[in-house]
Structure formats: C-alpha cells, structure tokens
Amino acid sequence: MLDRKFIIENAAAVKQNCVNRGMDADIDHFVELETQRKSKLQLAEELNRQANELSKKIGSAPPEEREAIKEEARKLREQKAAAQAEHDVLEEQVAAIQLIIPNMAHPDAPIGVDDKSNLEISRGKFSPRQFDFKPQDHVELGQKWDWIDFEGGARTTGSGFYFLKNEIVLLDLALQQWATTELVKRGFVPTMTPDLATDEVLQGIGFNPRGPETQVYSIENSALSLIGTAEITLGGLYSGVTLSDEDLPIKICGISHCYRTEAGAAGRASRGLYRVHQFTKVEMFAFCLPEQSDALHDELRDIECDLFDALEIPYRVVDTATGDLGGPAYRKFDLEAWMPGRGDGGEWGEVTSTSNCTDYQSRRLKVRFKKEGTKGTHFVHTLNGTAIALSRALISILENHQNSDGSVNIPPVLQPIMGVEKIGG
RNA sequence: GGAGACGUGGCUGAGUGGUCGAAAGCGCCGGUUUGCUAAAUCGGUGAAGGGGUCAAACCCUUCCGCAGGUUCGAAUCCUGUCGUCUCCGCCA
C-alpha cells in the first residue's frame, strides 16, 4: 500500500495512476476520511492526556478529594473511548480504501489499460523453430508417453489437477535442481518454503485471501491459505523485522507448490498444463534499499533470460503496461516463451514474471531497514521474479524440443542431471 | 493431542497496581586519559504515530509476544490467542 501522507500530498498523481491502471479507488473520499480520522485521533489523544494527568494526581491528593478526581477521570476516559470509537470506524474505512489503491507505476512503464499495450523490449537467443513436421502440443506428447495424467488428477482431486509420471518427473526435478543451483551461484539463499501462509501475509503481499474474487484456496477454521506463489512466504519471511542496511540486498529463492483456484479462467488458452490449480515453482525474491531496486529488477529479468537461453527456448521480453500490472507492482517484466503447440501454429505464452514492488508490500508487512549510525527506519523495497514455473517450463521444453517421432531432446544443461539426452521414443 | 514453564529494549536480565519507557550489566556512539592497542573513566544510546520548526530543539499519544477485560491508573491482576522450551503420547 501507499503511504497515507504521500496519497494526500500527491492526490492528483495517485488519481491519474489509478486511471492508468484501470483501477477504481475513491481518492477524494480517502483524503476526506483520513483528514477526519486524524482530527479524531488528536481529540482522543488530548482527552487521554488529560485523564493521565488526573490519574497521576490521585496518589498525592488528599483522601477526601480522591473520589471526585476519580469521577472526573472516569468521565474523561469515557469521552476518550467515544472519540476513539469514532476514530476506529474512520480508520477501518480509510484502511479499506488504502488497501485497494495500487502502487505508483514506473515512469517508463507503458501506459495502457490492458495487456494489448504491453511493449516487447527484447528477444531471447533462440528464434521460434521452423518444424518440418506438425508439432504436437504437450498434452498430446504427455499422453503418448504417459507423462501427464489429467484423468487421474481429475479422479483424485478434480479438474485442473494432474499427475506427472515417468521421465517427466525426472525432468521436473532436474529443472528444480538446476535452476536452484544457478541461483545459488548468483548469490541467492536457497529455501524451501511452507505451502501455506497466514491471511495477513497474503494480504501484505497483495493477495485477497477471502471473498468472492479470490484466487486463493483458504483453509476452513483457520487463518491460513494455500500460497499461490512462494513470493508470499518469501516476502513474509521478514515481516515485522527491521533489517540493517548493511545486510541489503538480501537475495533469496524458494521452491514451493503454488495453488490457484483460477476461478472462471477455463478456456481454450488454458489447455493442459498452462493453467492448473497446482504447480511447482522456483521463485526469486529480494529485499533491498530503495536506490537498489531498479538495478536489481534488471538483474532478475536478466537471470530469467539466462535461464531460458540456457534451456534453448525462444522467448520475448515484455514491459508490462500499467493496466496489466496488478496492484503491488511498480514495474513488471514478463518472459513469454514460444509454445509451438499453442493455438494454431504456436503462440507466445507467459513463463516468467518479475516485479519491482518498491515499498508497497513492505509497508504492509512492516519490513524495514535501519541505516547504521542514523536514527529512524525506512521500508525496504521488495522484488520478485519467477526462476522456473515448472508447469509452463515443461510445456516449453516438450513443445520446442520435440522430434518428429514425439521424443523430446533434453537441453544440454539438464543432461548431466538427468543422465539422458532424450526422453520418449 | 495431554501436562507444565516461559515470552520485558540490539543482547543478558530486574521489575507483582501509580514515583516504570522501564534497574543493572553487556554491546554501540561520543568525550577524557594513554607512545599504539587494550584498560580505565564520563556522557549518550529503542520504536511507531501526531503536533511543531526553514531545519532543529521541543511537546503529546502509544508500545514490556498479540488481542481483549478489570481499574481513576496495568509490564505487573483476569481471559483468550500466538510463539518458545521441557516431559508424555503419536508419527514420516
């Protein structure tokens, strides 16, 4: 969320930003309520101060006066409680609006209401391949070699779930192992995170854990939800913690399962593994100083490019338009891999996404830093990026590296881990 | 899952109704002393929110895991909750 003072002082810019992002937040109402809230708070504090003053007097007052002072103090406390109650109502309303005001956008982020305004900024090392046969999609390949069992997933759990089987399990594990190793080489602390998090952390990261619009599976009779991404647990890792500026940036990566309800998202573009309710992901996350976040964002994007280049998968990099940023992101880059089996004759499909969320998440999660030798604390900047989302990486590998007999070549970087050059056939 | 103990400032740790935002020690910052270092010694040293100021100084409120309650007044009493530890049970 944005700082309240910032919103009030920059109301016009915040309003324009909401328009650019296609979000509807009543900034004027926010300013009005927040102003009221502050004056109520001052009133409550003043009444409290007066009551405190009286309470202190009681000890030294002559016994016969004590009851009268007590009575007066009691009245003041009652008035204070009333003012506080009014304040609390306002606070709730202010917080509700503040929660839906999106982050400001990077000045270079393309402005537009949806993904049609996304701007392609670069391409990977490899171009989409010209097949001399009709490429199959990953669903067909998965069926042919008994690699992916959607029927089994549907029977045990429901539509949108699947079993991975046979060699593709080893490919999946090899990708996790390889990606994590690559990140460790680049200074990331590897973690395996919980697959559940408290609703508070979910909300801090920018997810809406409950309610009709939610994309999140929540656990009944508890304040826990299944995470949609390790961004949630990694971001929550230091919630409430004040870090030292000397420890920043902290680069951390995490392997987790990701769960998404994908309510209303079924359709032709969601075939197979592309949009599923559960998948595994290796996620990058960083906490850093404000002045570091732009460069770090570029670094995360470049790592994603390195990984997909190493896997020999064609992709393009997209600078996401304001309307497609979501709430927390200040700027977002997506990698879209070429998926030969998608649509008619192949389509680009999102495989990674990296966002600079500046202090939008850290303000809610209260992740601060202290500059050594100075007073006060500030909010860190947080960034996240997909290293490998297994389901979509598997699509990319199967579809791009398939042979005419349906066998699939394993990218050279994974061969030492898997011990084979090819699967199927 | 059952029983018990505990949760105080960067750390250790005192504090069982007001004089406590909180002793003491350690650490840290600054001064003095000293050939350097160490030691000694003096002083300072939490956070959030609000007001105030050009900026400071300064003022107010809140914070002793968290949330409620009792009371004129709560670190201290009560309830709930979360976390940690120990023992038992169960278990991969």
Q: Are residues A72 and A169 in the same domain?
A: no
- How far from A120 is each of A115, A130, A218, A316, A357, CA to CA, in Å? 11, 22, 36, 7, 21
- ipTM > 0.95, yes or no: no
pLDDT digits (tens, 9 = 90+) for A17-68: 999 999 988 999 999 999 999 999 999 999 999 999 888 888 777 878 888 8
In this prediction, residues A379-403 reach a mean pLDDT of 96
**Whether residue A382 has pLDDT greater than 70:** yes
**Whether residue A269 has pLDDT greater than 70:** no
At residue A262 the predicted structure's pLDDT band, cuts being 50, 70 and 90, is: confident
A63 touches strand B (CB under 7 A): no
Q: How far is the CA of A205 from the C1' of B3 (A)?
A: 39
Indicate whether A249 belongs to any domain.
Answer: yes
Domain that holds residue A317: 115-423
Q: How far is the CA of A40 from the C1' of B55 (A)?
A: 29
In this prediction, residues A148-153 reach a mean pLDDT of 94
Indicate whether A107 belongs to any domain.
Answer: no
**Whether residue A111 has pLDDT greater than 90:** yes
Indicate whether A105 belongs to any domain.
Answer: no
Q: What is the CATH number of the domain that holds A31?
A: 1.10.287.40
pLDDT of residue A108: 94
pLDDT digits (tens, 9 = 90+) for A2-11: 999 899 989 9
Q: How far is the CA of A56 from the C1' of B16 (A)?
A: 20
pLDDT digits (tens, 9 = 90+) for A193-234: 999 998 889 989 998 877 767 889 988 878 889 999 999 999
A57 touches strand B (CB under 7 A): no
Q: Are residues A388 and A283 in the same domain?
A: yes
Q: How far is the CA of A16 from the C1' of B52 (A)?
A: 33
- Final residue of a structural domain among A100, A123, A145: A100
pLDDT of residue A344: 86
Q: How far is the CA of A241 from the C1' of B30 (A)?
A: 28
Q: How far is the CA of A29 from the C1' of B88 (A)?
A: 58
Nucleotide nearest to A59 (CA to C1'): B18
Q: How far is the CA of A196 from the C1' of B87 (A)?
A: 30
Indicate whether A178 belongs to any domain.
Answer: yes
Indicate whether A402 belongs to any domain.
Answer: yes
Which range (A14-18, A70-74, A164-168) has the least confidence? A70-74
Q: Are residues A213 and A326 in the same domain?
A: yes
A221 touches strand B (CB under 7 A): no
Residue A189, both tokens:
């602390």
**Whether residue A264 has pLDDT greater than 90:** no
Q: Are residues A242 and A94 in the same domain?
A: no
Nucleotide nearest to A73 (CA to C1'): B72
At residue A144 the predicted structure's pLDDT band, cuts being 50, 70 and 90, is: very high
Q: Which nucleotides of B are covered by protein (CB under 7 A)?
A: 18, 29, 46-51, 60-62, 71-73
Q: How far is the CA of A68 from the C1' of B62 (A)?
A: 27
A56 touches strand B (CB under 7 A): yes
Q: Are residues A170 and A46 in the same domain?
A: no
Which range (A198-207, A260-269, A392-401) has the least confidence? A260-269
- Final residue of a structural domain among A38, A65, A100: A100
**Whether residue A163 has pLDDT greater than 70:** yes
In this prediction, residues A310-326 reach a mean pLDDT of 95
pLDDT of residue A152: 93
Q: Are residues A170 and A242 in the same domain?
A: yes
Q: Are residues A76 and A169 in the same domain?
A: no
Q: Are residues A74 and A140 in the same domain?
A: no
- Final residue of a structural domain among A68, A100, A132: A100
Q: Are residues A200 and A335 in the same domain?
A: yes
pLDDT digits (tens, 9 = 90+) for A152-162: 999 999 989 99
> Which chain A residues in 343-372 sit with Cβ < 7 A of strand B?
368
| Mean pLDDT over each residue of chain A, to the nearest integer | 91
**Whether residue A393 has pLDDT greater than 90:** yes
Indicate whether A108 belongs to any domain.
Answer: no
Distance of CA A411 to the CA centre of its chain: 29
A376 touches strand B (CB under 7 A): yes
Q: Are residues A83 and A121 in the same domain?
A: no
pLDDT digits (tens, 9 = 90+) for A345-373: 899 999 999 999 999 999 988 888 888 76
Q: Are residues A250 and A164 in the same domain?
A: yes
Please name the amino acid found at residue A175.
L
pLDDT digits (tens, 9 = 90+) for A272-288: 999 999 999 999 999 99
Report how many domains make up chain A: 2
Q: What is the CATH number of the domain that holds A370?
A: 3.30.930.10
pLDDT of residue A68: 87
Q: Are residues A223 and A162 in the same domain?
A: yes
Which of A187, A281, A269 has its CA nearest to residue A227?
Answer: A281
A417 in Cβ contact with A406 (< 8 Å): no
**Whether residue A328 has pLDDT greater than 90:** yes
